[in-house]
């Protein structure tokens, strides 16, 4: 089956959840054999990563209304001649314009509740949750052109046991330590200050083992979070691992994944990643989690911004291994049936064919 040719454009400077999704999606496009090319910010972090086998273009993307980049996008579209252009986030979408019926179909992909004025000129919109799509429609985006497709999680690809042992040693983790992992940029929506407060509420040992939290990420709140940990006297309980382009060893090492995001979080890729790695999960009940997670069945859910509840949830799963194992197994089944690469990519490619008329 022939797939429409797409051009995928993102203008991010730094790395975060949207950028990790872009990497995952680009690699999946390449592996499905769908004809596609990529455009990223020349001086951005994505330009330094392995994005798979697709042709990669580096554009300036200097400012929100950068006329040089807008011209560069136009030239690239003329050169690539895609059937469809998919843009991510506001800057790339603002700078991409395609006349209806005379240029490629322009699809804006949203992974958050952003101000919509930079997106309204697109021809179609993809939201990664039902709640986000409903919100777009309520704010004037035509319902018939809004399409909901969830993110997928890559299957777990374990690394060698020797690498895990080396990592554990490098992080200074005792052989019997409980390893908790959280991932995400150090920004307010991730709720990390509540998780650090929760770590201070935990006892020194749970079932004879000391809890330790690995934080995968970096961002503007990094200094404040470290000062909070120092003030609470729990610096020895936290490991600041920085941003990891390949977080596999950390998920593999984890006994428990904790995701404390606040209500504003849209989906939460960490939920899908924890399920893909068959790891028990404690998550807050933000709006994305309420859409996809089932408390007591595939995760343990607690109220947002509640350090006491987070601590109780962590202690519950660490003290009840049978419950933790059951949640992890059911989460793994969910990700395989609902959030796996193949069905999600099938939805994307079918939508591309429909939007471009290739399905006729």
Per-residue pLDDT, 359: 58
Per-residue pLDDT, 101: 79
Per-residue pLDDT, 360: 47
Per-residue pLDDT, 32: 93
DSSP state of 159: P
- Beta-bridge partners for 127: 110, 148
Per-residue pLDDT, 1: 66
Domains in the chain (CATH in brackets) are 6-152+340-356 (3.40.50.2000), 161-338 (3.40.50.2000)
Q: Which sign does the torsion angle of CA 135, 139, 188, 251 carry?
A: positive
CA separation, residue 79 to residues 37, 72, 75, 87, 231 (Å): 11, 10, 6, 17, 56
End-to-end CA distance of the chain: 12
Per-residue pLDDT, 258: 98
Residues of the chain with pLDDT under 70: 1, 359-360
Residue 319, sorted as left (phi over 0), alpha (psi -120 to 50) or beta, turns out to be: alpha
3-state secondary structure of 244: coil
Per-residue pLDDT, 89: 92
At 354, list the tokens: 């429909």
Alpha helix locations (H) across the chain?
17-32, 67-80, 89-94, 130-138, 161-170, 192-201, 222-232, 248-253, 269-276, 287-292, 307-319, 321-338, 341-356
Per-residue pLDDT, 125: 98
């Amino acid at each position: 089956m022939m797939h429409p040719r797409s051009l995928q454009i993102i203008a991010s400077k730094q790395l975060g959840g949207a950028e990790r999704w872009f990497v995952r999606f680009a690699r999946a496009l390449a592996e499905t054999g769908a004809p596609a090319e990529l455009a990223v910010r020349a001086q951005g972090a994505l330009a330094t990563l392995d994005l798979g086998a697709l042709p990669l273009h580096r554009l300036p993307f200097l400012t929100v209304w950068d006329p040089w980049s807008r011209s560069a996008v136009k030239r690239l579209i003329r050169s690539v001649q895609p059937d469809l252009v998919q843009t991510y986030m506001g800057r790339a979408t603002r700078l991409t314009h395609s006349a209806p019926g005379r240029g490629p179909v322009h699809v804006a992909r949203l992974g958050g509740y952003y101000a919509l004025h930079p997106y309204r000129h697109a021809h179609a919109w993809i939201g990664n949750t039902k709640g986000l799509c409903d919100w777009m429609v309520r704010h004037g985006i035509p319902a018939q052109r809004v399409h909901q497709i969830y993110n997928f999680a890559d299957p777990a690809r374990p690394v060698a046991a020797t690498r895990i042992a080396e990592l554990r040693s490098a992080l200074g983790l005792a052989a019997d330590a409980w390893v908790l992992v959280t991932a995400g940029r150090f920004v307010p929506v991730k709720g990390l200050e509540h998780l650090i407060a929760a770590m201070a509420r935990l006892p020194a040992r749970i079932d004879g083992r000391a809890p330790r939290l690995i934080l995968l990420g970096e961002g503007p709140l990094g200094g404040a979070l470290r000062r909070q940990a120092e003030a609470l006297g729990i610096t020895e309980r936290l490991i600041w691992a920085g941003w990891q382009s390949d977080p596999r060893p950390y998920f593999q090492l984890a006994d428990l994944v904790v995701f404390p995001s606040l209500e504003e979080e849209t989906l939460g890729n960490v939920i899908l990643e924890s399920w893909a790695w068959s790891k028990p999960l404690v998550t807050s009940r933000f709006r994305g989690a309420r859409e996809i997670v089932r408390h007591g069945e595939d995760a343990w859910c607690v109220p947002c911004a509640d350090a006491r509840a987070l601590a109780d949830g962590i202690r519950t799963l660490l003290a009840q291994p049978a419950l933790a194992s059951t949640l992890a197994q059911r989460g793994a089944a969910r990700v395989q049936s609902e959030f796996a690469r193949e069905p999600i990519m099938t939805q994307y490619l079918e939508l591309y064919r429909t939007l471009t008329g290739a399905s006729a």
